[in-house]
Amino acid sequence: MQTITHHLAAVVATLLLAIPGCAPRSSEELATASSAITDPVPQAAGRYNLRFDVSNGDQRAYILRLPAGYNPFAAAPYPLVYLFHGAGQSADSFYGRPGMTRMEALADVQGKILVFAQGAFGASVTTPGMWDDTGHLKNDPLFAQELLAFVLANLNADPARVLAAGFSNGGHFTHVLGALMPAAFRAIGVVEGYYGATCSPIPATPPAGTLLPVFIVHGDADTTVPIGGGGTGGFTSALDAYNAWYSNDTCTLPTAIPITPPATYTFRFTACKAATSGNVVRFTTVFGLGHEWPVAANGFDASARLLDFFDMQ
């Protein structure tokens, strides 16, 4: 992880700039619990709300979910799914959403560890649950990197099989982490997210040459983060993010497959496999879906599809 840490520090240092167009956050929004300490990592199946101290002094929180039958001494280490909630949510509220209930059930069957990180401003009244992607106030990239290293070191988890996935603003943060530390992840998944926005110095698309399998899911009826970009945050297009990852991974084998299952929604499924890196980039449009993580009741089980994609890599 040392190379990743050095690369991340360099990138974050570049981004420690004032952000024009974004209102400054109040001191109340930066408040954290003064009594927090890093909790020991449990070693039995179940859900745990835990605290974590970042090296810069920030005191943070996360939820750990160890699958049924978890064995800290198993010969084969467990895959890990690293999850990031949307703005206005917390790790706890995201955990309780239908898509994550489905993720939890699948993790039990498939033997996957789940880690739900808590955004910097989870207790804020004005900007709840926002991910501070640039680290200009709360260094969320540093938190995400150090927490991942910590849980990998203290669990029977496979560092070569880590999936990062996020919803909305958490999807944006997942894109950012994929660009900052691609070697840390086997793949990333973004649901109703975006790469950049007018309110951020993060570039509109991932840097050229960043290689990583990516699965993007977006509803064409999303008015919060429109699939074509824009909206109140000046978001970039979800398709632009797909095209950038496609280009980075030197994809040469595109396919566009219309799927019409026996459900309310229909989908456009586009994917590619890179000629040189072997990475796959996939984009699924869920027609008629708004700003939500789709589940089987919507006709598209995003949790199952993301985990299937992860296992394919």
- Report d(CA 35, CA 29) in Å as an integer: 17
- Side by side, the strands of the sheet bearing 267-273 are 46-53, 59-66, 113-117, 78-84, 157-167, 187-191, 214-219, 280-286, 267-273, 255-259
The pLDDT assigned to 154 comes to: 98
Give the count of beta carbons closer than 10 Å to the beta carbon of residue 271: 19
Please state which of the four CATH numbers 3.40.50.1820, 3.60.15.10, 3.40.50.720, 3.40.50.10490 is assigned to the domain occupying 2-15+47-312.
3.40.50.1820
User: Nearest CA to 133 among 246, 283, 22?
Assistant: 22
Q: What is the pLDDT of residue 209?
A: 74
Mean pLDDT by 10 residues, the chain (313 residues): 40 31 35 63 97 92 97 98 93 95 98 95 51 72 96 98 96 91 95 79 68 91 92 84 81 61 52 68 88 88 95 89
Q: Model-level pTM?
A: 0.83
Q: Which two tokens stand for residue 127?
A: 């900007």
Q: What residue ranges do the domains of the chain occupy?
A: 2-15+47-312
